[in-house]
Amino acid sequence: MGELRPEVVIHTAYLQSGERMVDVNVAGAGNVARAAASVGARLIHISTDFVFDGRRERRGYSEDDAAVPITDYGRAKLAGERAVADAAPDALIVRTSLIYGRDTPGPHELMVLDALDGRRDVAFFSDELRCPIMAAELAAALLELGRRPLSGTLHVAGADTVSRLEFARLVALFHGRDPASLRSALSSAARPRRPLNCALDCSRAAGLLTTRLRGVQAVLGAGVPSAGHSLH
């Protein structure tokens, strides 16, 4: 930071599991925030929809809703948010959702393709709801936010709320594959505890940004190369 003297820092690093998860997500986030503050740089810190418990049945979570994580990852990310806010009170904390690449598939899409090709045995939950956002559109939104003197918390995710199963089917269709072979699963007592409805209310971001945050159905559906299969 001292060498480059950046005006804006966008902090995206995280770990979702493993022995170093808390170190990276909490201590690491605080370190970046202190370093940014030391050179007067604005900080945009990326967080997650997993800071919520997912018990809401209908509407999405807004920035004003209490964060009550129920997973180790969610608890670490919320602690990271607080470490950032303590070290850099003017930081902007951006909570987002499942990120996908579309033309350059990301990990979530590759998991779907591996399941379709028999490389992985995966069941996609029909009751776990997210608001997937394409990486390029999230990046554009973050760059736009970097030019705005905003602080606090902001939700930036895609416009559609879909289940993990619906997302997997859209990925399959986009790549010209038959989604019928994808296995679905419901919650069960044997399943690791995870939040269900993690939909984010992004109306505040929509009113601030010129970057359009499209829904996954528009992004992937518009590029489906084959009309031979139906999502439903």
What are the pLDDT digits (tens) for 71-85?
999 999 999 999 999
| Rounded (10°) CA dihedral 114, 116, 121, 125 | 100
**pLDDT (average), residues 165-180:** 94
| Rounded (10°) CA dihedral 129, 134, 135, 137 | -120
- 8-221: CATH topology is Rossmann fold (3.40.50)
Determine contact, residues 213/137, Cβ cutoff 8 Å.
Answer: yes
**pLDDT (average), residues 74-97:** 97
Q: Which of 14, 61, 73, 100 is catalytic?
A: 73
Q: Determine what percent of the chain is predicted with pLDDT higher than 90.
A: 82
> Is 160 strand, coil or helix?
coil
For residue 187, the model assigns a pLDDT of: 55
**pLDDT (average), residues 156-182:** 94
Look at residue 189 and tell me whether its pLDDT is greater than 70: no
State yes or no: is 100 an active-site residue: no
Lowest mean pLDDT among 29-38, 93-102, 160-169, 218-227: 218-227
Model-level pTM greater than 0.85?
A: yes
Lowest mean pLDDT among 1-5, 28-32, 59-63, 193-197: 193-197
